[in-house]
């Protein structure tokens, strides 16, 4: 089931939220700690206002809620509210036997006993789940993984505690996002969504239902993903998941925040994953774990696509082709003969090799000049300090491969002293935002612009072919263009 956490301060606001999300959800959680005092008095009527099952919750501040009054008042409020026809009531695991629990049992309301840890995962996690279930309640465990190893620990719950049929397992925070989407793989009976992120890592009901189709995941679903750090900003799920749906392929593509590549490959075997995209900073770190690589990966020394091939992992690089395809004819016509590449990281390696292999002269500039020198020596290019960018205004193509200017860095311009001209071709690899400060400045000179979002879609469609063996559905390409605009 997909549950929507209702965050309104009034019953009417919450009914509106249900109407807006009714096609995406199976039940709702009424958080009476978020209601105004006057609305709390009427909360018992809420189940009669919606046909959906309702979970009743009044969360204490220490558990991430908004209720700050005494515990006695909280339990009294819950007792008054369960006069309504609620399907579930969520009570913390440390609440002892009370008249509230007995009244809930007498009314046939199922009891969820919850435990929250907003900093880590307790070492006795499995014991806590087993103990709650033994008392006849539904265990709800909301904990915070801080590494991929923690995520592995959560995904093992279904295997270790398969005998507990009804349970709710939630990994909060950035590392926990895959556990929310793949909740069925944890044996969880439901996942929580919200319009406003009321708990760390929650996503919208619409995305859960239509983008990820998390409720459709079963034992035959092929899992794909993207690994990086950071990674939750990625637009790749908006390419891959509609593509899977377009060819009726039972698969899901989700983001994995990864701190340790070696640990991720353990998770990839356990779930299992059938393939994944690789973004910064892991494009080189994955190489030792691949049994086979393409010519481009060997040459570039960086991989952005990994697929399962027989009994090994195979690495390819679609960045190479996604980047160079709109430039090939211009290079062949002689309109682009020289390029200035900003940055010397994994993305720059793909860019420089693609340009060099097509006969374009390249100068690499970077803040760390030793990194620029290393890449230049490898690719038979020139190099210089980032501070000397203005010395290369005579070059045809300027390619920006760093994270400077990414969303949240609106002031970032890697080459503020560089003067753009109408004759320049300016290529930005960042795709969020589409117009970085550098591109905005280049557009004032009427330079020809190339956007990171276009490269993302080109390389993403190539990844789709690697993952599925099919071309990306033609009819969906129009939707991708509309989304970009």
CA atoms of 148 and 460, how far apart (whole Å): 25
Hey, do 2-218 and 237-316 end up sharing a CATH topology, with the first three levels equal?
Answer: no
Question: 104 pLDDT exceeds 90?
Answer: yes
CB 191, CB 242: distance < 8 Å: no
Classify the C-alpha dihedral 431-435-436-441 as positive or negative: positive
Q: What angle do CA 97, 99, 102 make, to 5 degrees?
A: 80
Residue 239: the pLDDT is 95
Known catalytic residue at 283: yes
pLDDT digits (tens, 9 = 90+) for 36-51: 999 999 999 999 999 9
Residue 361 has pLDDT above 80, yes or no: yes
Q: In the chain, how many H helices and how many E strands?
A: 19, 20
- What is the domain partition of the chain in residue ranges? 2-218, 237-316, 321-450
Q: Distance (Å, rounded) from C-alpha 448 to C-alpha 451?
A: 10
Q: Please state whether 334 falls in left (phi above 0), alpha (psi between -120 and 50) or beta.
A: left
pLDDT of residue 197: 77
Among candidate residues 261, 308, 265, 253, the one with its CA nearest the CA of residue 281: 261
Q: Sheet containing 292-293: give its strands across.
A: 251-257, 222-228, 273-278, 305-309, 312-316, 292-293
**Tokens standing for residue 438:** 């550098």
Q: What is the pLDDT averaged over residues 105-115? A: 95
pLDDT of residue 298: 94
* Beta strands 312-316 and 305-309, pairing class: antiparallel
Indicate which residue of 140, 209, 283, 461 is catalytic. Answer: 283
CATH number of 2-218: 3.20.20.70
Q: Which residues pair with 169 in a beta bridge?
A: 141
- Mean pLDDT computed over 261-290: 95
Average confidence score pLDDT of the chain: 94
Phi, psi of 342 (to 5 degrees): -95, 120
In this prediction, residues 236-264 reach a mean pLDDT of 97
**Which tokens is 471 given?**
């071309």
Largest Cα separation within the chain, whole Å, is 83
For tokens 């005579």, name the residue. Answer: 394
Q: The domain 237-316: what is its CATH number?
A: 3.40.50.10860
Among candidate residues 345, 359, 324, 358, the one with its CA nearest the CA of residue 455: 324
Give the model's confidence band at 97: pLDDT under 50 very low, under 70 low, under 90 confident, else very high.
Answer: confident
Residue 481 has pLDDT above 60, yes or no: no
Confidence band, pLDDT 50/70/90 cuts, at residue 483: low
202/121 Cα distance (integer angstroms): 18
Map residue 132 onto helix, strand or coil.
helix
Give the count of beta carbons closer than 10 Å to the beta carbon of residue 99.
10
The interaxial angle of helices 346-357 and 369-379, nearest 10 deg, is 30
Provide the token pair at 117: 């840890």
Distance, in Å, from the CA atom of 128 to the CA atom of 31, rounded to the nearest integer, reads 24
H/E run at residue 103: helix 99-106
CATH class of 321-450: alpha beta
Alpha helix segments (H runs only) across 108-260 = 125-134, 148-155, 157-160, 177-181, 205-206, 237-246
């Amino acid at each position: 089931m997909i549950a929507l956490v209702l965050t309104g301060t009034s019953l009417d606001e919450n009914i509106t939220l249900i109407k807006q999300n009714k096609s995406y959800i199976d039940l709702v959680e009424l958080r009476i700690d978020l209601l105004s005092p006057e609305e709390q008095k009427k909360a018992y009527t809420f189940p009669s206002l919606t046909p959906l099952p309702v979970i009743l919750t009044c969360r204490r501040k220490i558990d991430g809620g908004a209720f700050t009054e005494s515990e006695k008042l909280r339990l009294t409020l819950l007792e008054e509210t369960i006069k309504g026809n609620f399907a579930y009531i969520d009570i913390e695991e440390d609440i002892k036997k009370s008249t509230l629990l007995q009244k809930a049992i007498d009314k046939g309301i199922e009891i969820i006993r919850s435990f929250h840890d907003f900093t880590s995962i307790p070492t006795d996690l499995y014991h806590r789940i087993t103990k709650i279930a033994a008392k006849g309640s539904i265990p709800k465990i909301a904990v915070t993984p801080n590494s991929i190893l923690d995520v592995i620990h959560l995904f093992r719950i279904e295997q270790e505690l398969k005998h507990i049929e009804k349970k709710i397992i939630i990994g909060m925070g950035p590392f926990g996002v895959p556990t929310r989407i793949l909740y069925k793989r944890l044996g969880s009976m439901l996942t929580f969504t919200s319009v406003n992120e009321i708990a760390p890592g929650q996503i919208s009901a619409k995305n859960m239902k239509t983008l990820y189709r998390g409720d459709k995941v079963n034992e035959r679903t092929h899992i794909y993903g993207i690994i990086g750090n950071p990674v939750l900003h990625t637009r790749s799920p908006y390419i891959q998941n509609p593509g899977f749906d377009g060819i009726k392929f039972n698969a899901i593509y989700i983001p994995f925040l990864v701190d340790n590549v070696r640990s991720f490959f353990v998770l990839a075997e356990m779930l299992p994953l059938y393939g994944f995209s690789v973004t910064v900073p892991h494009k080189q770190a994955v190489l030792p774990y691949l049994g086979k690589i393409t010519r481009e990966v060997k040459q570039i020394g960086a991989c952005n696509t990994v697929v399962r091939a027989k009994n090994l992992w195979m690495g390819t690089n679609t960045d190479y082709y996604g980047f160079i395809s709109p430039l090939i004819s211009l290079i062949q016509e002689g309109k682009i003969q020289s390029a200035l590449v900003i940055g010397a990281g994994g993305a720059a390696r793909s860019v420089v090799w693609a340009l060099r292999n097509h006969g374009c002269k390249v100068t690499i500039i970077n803040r760390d000049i030793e990194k620029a020198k290393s890449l230049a020596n490898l690719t038979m290019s020139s190099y210089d300090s980032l501070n000397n960018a203005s010395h290369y205004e005579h070059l045809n193509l300027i390619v920006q491969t760093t994270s400077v200017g990414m969303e949240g860095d609106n002031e970032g311009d890697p080459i503020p002293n560089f003067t753009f001209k109408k004759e320049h071709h300016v290529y930005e690899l960042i795709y969020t935002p589409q117009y970085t400060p550098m591109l905005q400045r280049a557009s004032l000179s009427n330079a020809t612009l190339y956007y990171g979002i276009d490269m993302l879609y080109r390389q993403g469609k190539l990844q789709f072919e690697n993952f599925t063996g099919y071309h990306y559905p033609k009819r969906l390409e129009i939707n991708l263009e509309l989304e970009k605009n």
